[in-house]
Amino acid sequence: MNTQLNCMSECFEAPVIASSAMSATRPLYWSVRREVWENRSVYVAPLAVAAVLLLAFLIASIGKAVLTQDPAGKVAALSEPISFAATLLMLTAFIVGAIYCLDALHGERRDRSILFWKSLPSSDLTTVLMKASIPLLVLPLLCFVVVLATQWVMLELSTLVLVMSGIRPATLWAGLPLFQMEVVLLHALTVLALQHAPIYCWLLLISGAARRATILWTVLPPLAIGVGENIAFHTSYFGSLLKDRLFGFAADAFDLRAQGHVLTGPHFISLTQLTPGKVLGSPGLWIGLGLAALFLAAAARLRRYREPV
């Protein structure tokens, strides 16, 4: 009898546990959907850049390939823009993420919509985490999908040009390690999001703290620290750290030096050049993530007490 009662209690407890887990994640999920719907630049900007890239590819690269008589030159002219598209879209994602973070908390105070969102059953920490997930998770995934679609369209157009020129398309496809390129892209986007996490979270903190002139408050503290260090100690360590945080992710993400210390091109990065162990073992990465957590906690606390501007 006791066994039957225990079995019945476990059967009733399982749906309760599942529903509680769903109720804990559902507000964050719908908050992310709402944020993407309200900030259409999150997906419009990458799509617009991809459209411009395809137009430029049609005009410049295909025109060059048609005019080039050498088959190897045709293949090179068509394959080079494929890797350039990924780089430009990654830069676009970073710019969109920075602009979004700078306006994420300040915008809802400016238009007084914070009064409405605070009336909903969603904590300040959930809201801040949701806003941080846009540049750290949503934009990298969206960038990955857009890059895949853009490269696929470029490959199809390149195949059509080669067929019209009487060249076998297999020459182009054989020279492009597509699977390796996508794995490298996914690795680069992951490392880039981790490296830029403290920057995005700092922008969120400024967005929630400043009453106006958020760009000015974003730039002034780092600039004051850098200038003060240079005047007091005649060094520029802070500026170097900030520069590495912004632009130096490739040195940790990839082994860019081939045999003979010759830099390889970004189009030819192979899986053997990925260095995830170096990334995860970098103290700077974990210090940056710790700072990002502190910035997020401070932003959530500020949102609790901030009023509309």
22 pLDDT tier (thresholds 50, 70, 90) = very low
Q: Check residue 13 and give its pLDDT.
A: 47
Tokens of 242: 């900030």
Q: Which residue, among 171, 157, 172, 188, has the nearest Cα to 269 in the 3D structure?
A: 188
- Looking at per-residue pLDDT, the higher value among 96 and 19 belongs to 96
Computed on alpha carbons and rounded to an integer, the radius of gyration of the chain in Å comes to 24
Percent of the chain surpassing pLDDT 90: 29
Q: What's the rounded Cα separation, in Å, for the pair 56 and 75? A: 17
Q: How is the chain split into domains, by residue range?
A: 39-305
* Helix pair 71-110, 41-56: axis angle to 10 deg: 160
208 pLDDT tier (thresholds 50, 70, 90) = confident
Q: Which residue, among 135, 148, 53, 70, has the nearest Cα to 100 in the 3D structure?
A: 135
Q: Which residue, among 273, 270, 269, 272, has the nearest Cα to 252 in the 3D structure?
A: 273
Q: Which residue, among 192, 181, 216, 203, has the nearest Cα to 94 in the 3D structure?
A: 192
Q: What is the pTM of this model?
A: 0.82
Percent of the chain surpassing pLDDT 70: 72
Q: What is residue 269's DSSP assignment?
A: -
pLDDT digits (tens, 9 = 90+) for 75-114: 666 667 777 888 899 999 999 999 999 988 888 777 777 6
Q: Which residue, among 103, 125, 109, 294, has the nearest Cα to 217 in the 3D structure?
A: 103
Tokens of 243: 């520069």
Tokens of 97: 């993420």
126 pLDDT tier (thresholds 50, 70, 90) = confident
